[in-house]
Structure 1
Amino acid sequence: MFLGIDVGGTKLAAGLVSDDGAVRERRRESIDQSDEQSAVQQIVALIERYGEAPRAIGVCIPGIADQKRQTVWAPNIKGWNHIHLLEQLSLRFSCPIIVESDRNAAVLGEVLYGCARGKRDVVFMILGTGIGAGVLSGGQLIRGSNDIGGAVGWIPVCARGQRRHFEDIAAGPAIEHAALELFRRHATLPELASLARHGNRAVLELFEIAGEAIGLVLSMFVSIFNPELIVVGGGVSACWDLLSLSAMPEMRLWGQPIGVSQVEVVVSQLSEDAGILGAAAVARGL
């Protein structure tokens, strides 16, 4: 069994994964962001609860996992500014451990366990607290010189005349913040989605704006990487029925036409296990 640990900006999830992708002994808890070490110690305590079961451990993080320097940079977790997470975990546990970015783990998990089985040119876009993309081109991960490849949340996008980072338009907190400015009260993403599905025009426009930004970035994936499949995942993907109404036309408008005609865009079916399975997929490669 492989232990997959999914570290997010708000939650920590783990599970034992068999060779056929079955997940057992799932655990999920809110992440402790008191200080830099609180989240690390929480991961340690979580691993200890699994005893001697794991053959190897994969940890996926919402940021940059620098494989050369073996450091982690994750701005959505307090104090995780180039910390040596792998070193700290390896001092506590004897089995093989690997730390990988959530976007890279996600695309590997989808290829191994999900809808991208057998495919070699795949993009997985995570829409959640943050935004990132795992890119598999010709069967190889696109990492970049400093493992920053796929940090698409930083792409500048023009949204209705305002240029902002993609993540500041289409990530979950960004949509919630836009609603807060509009209604002067906080509403969660599921609440906003419900309002939109019941025909609230103002909320529908928020999803339309976010969808346009997503579609523009999808068109970049198509034109740069020519994938056969784009998988959308993360918490915000639960609103794909709303986002796709503007995202897909925008992708078709701006993407290379041959690539656009051949690419398939789907929502991940791995659900809440996506991060766990992705981390386990990375651990299997050890």
Structure 2
Amino acid sequence: MQQWLVGIDLGGTTIKMAFVTTSGDIVHKWEIPTNISNRGEHIVADIARSLDETLVKLNATKEQLLAIGIGAPGPVQEETGTLYEAINLGWTNYPLKQQLEAATMLPVAVDNDANIAALGEMWKGAGGGARHLLFVTLGTGVGGGVISNGTIVRGTNGAGGELGHMTMVVDGGAPCNCGKTGCLETIASATGIVRITNEKLAADEQPSVLRGGEVTAKAVFDAAKAGDPLALQIVDEVTHYLGLALANAANVTNPEKIVIGGGVSKAGDILVEHVTTHFRRFAFPRVAAGAEIALATLGNDAGVIGGAWLAKALAGA
């Protein structure tokens, strides 16, 4: 009887789930909508029911499942698996580990969603098994994960690796959802890129293909690839701050790999080339010499594979 790990990536819109072998190969993956009504009270029951239904569909049994690893959008108390706060789920001090273990009768490990994506990329993705790795995900916001000697750096209250909330603009920065101003998230996220672009378009009449169309992060990078001067200026500004942030983080952690994921990473080589240029300018030379910057390769599977890594460690598999 083949035994599987369960990897779960809990998001505000969908819950991605997978059965994964102990060597990290996905056997079956699926997703269900996230029901956030009544402050997310149905989420755990929905997960447990979906696991049972999928086992039936695959002619498998609960005995084949070793453990569950789940990533959630917020800081997590490592020992208890309590989610301090997940605004988009309606949870505050929510005992996710306790609730999910009771609902599934399986051991559960809980971590932040960016952390499990980092573990997934380390195990089966662009990290290539690197034991020292920085992961940054550029989407609607900016998330991060720091892996030191194969272990996630969680910190004293679960907020380790919050690269997106490094202050990059000390005075006069844009407000961030975290309550601060000038965070990396306000610059290098898709939202931040759109904000910067709109500000520059409004500031002068510089010709650009970005005028008159829908402004998106993809549009900015596409225009930069085509040589649009304003788009190139924006890309250089964004990657300047991102390269600086990654250099400062790398100077502390001395990683072998720096992996960039999230929707913005689909810009590809132009993003890596610009970030690398700025990173090498700001990083301690020996740190820069040891680090390779690469694009994430697992896409939406990073979270479920990283969740399976957590489950593997919990089960001792």
- TM-score between both structures, scaled by the size of structure 2: 0.79
**Residue number in structure 2 paired with 1:47:** 51
Q: Determine if contact 2:81/2:111 at 8 Å carries over to the other structure.
A: no
Q: Determine if contact 1:107/1:135 at 8 Å carries over to the other structure.
A: yes
Q: Describe the superposition over 1:155-186 as per-residue Cα deviations: whole angstroms up to 9, x where unpaired.
A: 10029974601112112333244445656975
RMSD: 2.8
- What residue identity is the alignment partner of 2:284? Q
**Matches of 1:256 and 1:7 in 2, distance apart?**
37
Closer, same or farther: CA 69–54 of 1 in aligned 2, 3 Å: closer
Closer, same or farther: CA 198–85 of 1 in aligned 2, 3 Å: same
Q: Does 1:132 align with 2:143?
A: yes
**Matches of 2:216 and 2:99 in 1, distance apart?**
35
Q: Describe the superposition over 1:116-160 as per-residue Cα deviations: whole angstroms up to 9, x where unpaired.
A: 344322222222233232222233332211121101221100299
Q: Does 1:23 align with 2:22?
A: no
Q: Does 1:172 align with 2:176?
A: no
**Residue number in structure 2 paired with 1:238:** 266
Q: Describe the superposition over 1:177-222 as per-residue Cα deviations: whole angstroms up to 9, x where unpaired.
A: 4445656975444444434434444344333322122101110122
**Matches of 2:27 and 2:249 in 1, distance apart?**
34
**Matches of 2:86 and 2:195 in 1, distance apart?**
18
Q: Does 1:218 align with 2:246?
A: yes
Closer, same or farther: CA 280–193 of 1 in aligned 2, 3 Å: same
Unmatched 5+ stretches in structure 1? none
**Range 230-239 or range 159-168, more displaced:** 159-168
Q: Does 1:279 align with 2:283?
A: no
Tell me the secondary structure at the aligned position of residue 50 of structure 1.
Answer: helix
Unmatched 5+ stretches in structure 2? 56-61, 174-180, 202-210
Rg comparison, structure with higher value: 2
Q: Does 1:249 align with 2:285?
A: no
- What residue identity is the alignment partner of 2:276? M
**Matches of 1:43 and 1:89 in 2, distance apart?**
8
- What residue identity is the alignment partner of 1:2? L
Tell me the secondary structure at the aligned position of residue 49 of structure 1.
Answer: helix
**Matches of 1:17 and 1:108 in 2, distance apart?**
14
Alignment of 1:77-226 (within 5 A): 77-158=88-169, 162=173, 164-179=182-197, 182=201, 187-226=215-254
Q: Describe the superposition over 1:218-242 as per-residue Cα deviations: whole angstroms up to 9, x where unpaired.
A: 1012211111211222222212433
- What residue identity is the alignment partner of 1:123? L
Q: Describe the superposition over 1:24-47 as per-residue Cα deviations: whole angstroms up to 9, x where unpaired.
A: 322135544444215445434433
Tell me the secondary structure at the aligned position of residue 285 of structure 1.
Answer: helix
Closer, same or farther: CA 217–22 of 1 in aligned 2, 3 Å: same
Tell me the secondary structure at the aligned position of residue 46 of structure 1.
Answer: helix
Q: Percent identity?
A: 30
**Range 272-281 or range 160-169, more displaced:** 160-169
**Range 121-130 or range 252-261, more displaced:** 121-130
Tell me the secondary structure at the aligned position of residue 100 of structure 1.
Answer: strand
**Matches of 2:189 and 2:33 in 1, distance apart?**
19
Closer, same or farther: CA 246–78 of 1 in aligned 2, 3 Å: same
- What residue identity is the alignment partner of 1:61? A
**Matches of 1:207 and 1:45 in 2, distance apart?**
45
Q: CA deviation at 1:265?
A: 1.0
**Range 65-74 or range 269-278, more displaced:** 65-74
Aligned length: 286
Q: Determine if contact 1:105/1:279 at 8 Å carries over to the other structure.
A: yes
Q: Determine if contact 1:158/1:164 at 8 Å carries over to the other structure.
A: yes
Q: Determine if contact 1:204/1:242 at 8 Å carries over to the other structure.
A: no
- What residue identity is the alignment partner of 1:237? S
Q: Does 1:14 align with 2:17?
A: yes
- What residue identity is the alignment partner of 1:21? G
**Matches of 1:10 and 1:191 in 2, distance apart?**
24
Q: Determine if contact 1:65/1:72 at 8 Å carries over to the other structure.
A: yes
**Matches of 1:190 and 1:239 in 2, distance apart?**
7
- What residue identity is the alignment partner of 2:190? G
- What residue identity is the alignment partner of 1:48? D
**Range 36-45 or range 88-97, more displaced:** 36-45
Tell me the secondary structure at the aligned position of residue 164 of structure 1.
Answer: coil
